[in-house]
């Protein structure tokens, strides 16, 4: 068991899921009692990068915080419950992660979540704009293709908008692509890196297998199947859970991976690159996910699309109309949100 554990730990270290570097970051999780929020909070509590962990939800947070507070790691955990306690939760935060909202059930698309989750994200990001305007904001709540435009519009309304600090967490698409490619090629997934660009729903998820490290090749029919599996992997989990929720554990892992990369970059680590759905002028749509070089102030440099294969170019073109529609829907919602 020990040797297996140390192998897993080594893989995590390579990925940046744990690091011996210490800093004094205050991180808040909004939606901390939910299916993603609880395992995400556990992973954050386990990291030496986090010194204060603020957990917020509309129910059960005191219990989740009490439970996590017994773990023998340095992060000081506090639970906050209900809107009146949200300002205190957010005060002084360096990073805010938002997995709040309802999950998908079988037969639902991410867009079906819009009506419920749009209001939740708009309310929570309004509080962030007021109480921690300088924090990095990491949105997990779906549909990300709409909730990021909502977040941006909310921050603009409050005069504190900084596009380099607002991220749609698409990391689970990268994690899945790495895993599925590694399975097909018999590789260690911790050593595989597949950039995934576009958005975070169905055909807007564009894995760049041609840019995979190490280099891999697939016959066209296998490449199409692999791409479709990466695009529909969330639905695979929703169906397997048969009504009991969507991807929570893998999403928590991916969310933690993104936060740790961000914290590493904020504390001065060089060469930290993650993909995320952000404000962008790389394509004709105003938001798009590409590899980003992260730094002390968020996005240091957008690394763009790189060289695409003809198959990938077609996918980018095919994603445009859906992305435009989802972005517009988010922007219009935010403009009318009181």
Query: Per the annotation, does 257 bind a ligand?
Result: no
Query: Per the annotation, does 164 bind a ligand?
Result: no
Query: Per the annotation, does 15 bind a ligand?
Result: no
Report yes or no: 43 and 15 within 8 Å, Cβ to Cβ. no
Query: Per the annotation, does 325 bind a ligand?
Result: no
Find how far residue 271's CA is from the centre of its chain.
19
With a CB cutoff of 8 Å and minimum separation 6, the contacts of 91 are 131, 132
According to DSSP, the residues that pair with 301 across neighbouring strands are: 293
With a CB cutoff of 8 Å and minimum separation 6, the contacts of 110 are 104, 142, 143, 144, 145, 200, 201, 202, 234
> What does the alpha-carbon distance between residue 212 and residue 208 come to, in Å, rounded to a whole number?
7
Among 14, 263, 246, 21, residue whose Cα is nearest residue 138:
263
Q: How many helices (H) and strands (E) does the chain have?
A: 11, 11
Q: What is the DSSP letter of 170?
A: -
Query: Per the annotation, does 74 bind a ligand?
Result: no
> What does the alpha-carbon distance between residue 197 and residue 195 come to, in Å, rounded to a whole number?
6
Distances in Å between the Cα of 153 and the Cα atoms of 159, 161, 171, 335 are 10, 8, 23, 7
Task: State yes or no: cis peptide before 143, omega within 30 of 0.
Answer: yes
Query: Per the annotation, does 330 bind a ligand?
Result: no
Query: Per the annotation, does 24 bind a ligand?
Result: no
Q: Clarify whether 200 is annotated catalytic.
A: yes
Query: Per the annotation, does 141 bind a ligand?
Result: yes
Query: Per the annotation, does 33 bind a ligand?
Result: yes
Query: Per the annotation, does 140 bind a ligand?
Result: yes
Neighbours of 107 (CB within 10 A): 10
Query: Per the annotation, does 173 bind a ligand?
Result: no
Query: Per the annotation, does 298 bind a ligand?
Result: no
Q: Are strands 287-295 and 272-279 parallel, antiparallel or unpaired?
A: antiparallel
Query: Per the annotation, does 251 bind a ligand?
Result: yes
Distances in Å between the Cα of 304 and the Cα atoms of 196, 214, 289, 291 are 11, 20, 9, 7
> What does the alpha-carbon distance between residue 336 and residue 234 come to, in Å, rounded to a whole number?
30
Write down the catalytic residue from 70, 131, 158, 200: 200
Query: Per the annotation, does 229 bind a ligand?
Result: no
Query: Per the annotation, does 20 bind a ligand?
Result: no
Query: Per the annotation, does 63 bind a ligand?
Result: no
Q: What is the DSSP letter of 284?
A: S
What are the catalytic residues? Answer: 200
Binding site, residues?
31-37, 57, 104, 110, 117, 140-142, 176, 251
Binding residues for NAD(+): 31-37, 57, 117, 140-142, 251
Binding-site residues from annotation for substrate: 104, 110, 142, 176
């Amino acid at each position: 068991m020990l040797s297996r554990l140390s192998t897993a730990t080594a893989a995590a270290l390579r990925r940046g899921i744990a690091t011996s570097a210490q800093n004094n970051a205050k991180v808040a999780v909004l939606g901390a009692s939910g299916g993603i929020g609880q395992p995400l909070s556990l992973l954050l509590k386990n990291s030496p990068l986090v010194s204060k962990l603020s957990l917020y939800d509309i129910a059960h947070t005191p219990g989740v915080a009490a439970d996590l507070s017994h773990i023998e790691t340095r992060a000081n955990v506090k639970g906050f419950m209900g809107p009146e306690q949200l300002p205190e939760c957010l005060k002084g935060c360096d990073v805010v992660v938002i997995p709040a909202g309802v999950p998908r059930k079988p037969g639902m698309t991410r867009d079906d979540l819009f009506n419920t989750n749009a209001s939740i994200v708009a309310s929570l990001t309004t509080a962030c704009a007021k109480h921690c305007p300088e924090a990095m904001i990491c949105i997990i709540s779906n549909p990300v293709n709409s909730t990021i435009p909502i977040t941006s519009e909310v921050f603009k309304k409050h005069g504190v908008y900084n596009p380099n600090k607002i991220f749609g967490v698409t990391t689970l698409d990268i994690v899945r692509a790495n895993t599925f490619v590694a399975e097909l090629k018999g590789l260690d997934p911790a050593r595989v890196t597949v950039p995934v660009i576009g958005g975070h729903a169905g055909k807007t998820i564009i894995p760049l297998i041609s840019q995979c490290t190490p280099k891999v090749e697939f016959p066209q029919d296998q490449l199409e199947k692999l791409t479709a599996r990466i695009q529909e992997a969330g639905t695979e989990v929703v169906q397997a859970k048969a009504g009991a929720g969507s991807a929570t554990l893998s999403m928590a892992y991916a969310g933690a991976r993104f936060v740790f990369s961000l914290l590493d970059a904020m504390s001065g680590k060089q060469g930290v690159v993650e993909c995320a759905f952000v404000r962008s002028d790389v394509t004709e749509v105003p938001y798009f996910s590409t590899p980003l070089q992260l730094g002390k102030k968020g996005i240091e440099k957008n690394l763009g699309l790189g060289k695409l294969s003809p198959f990938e170019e077609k996918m980018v073109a095919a994603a445009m109309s859906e992305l435009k529609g989802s972005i517009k829907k988010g922007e219009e919602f935010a403009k009318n949100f009181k």
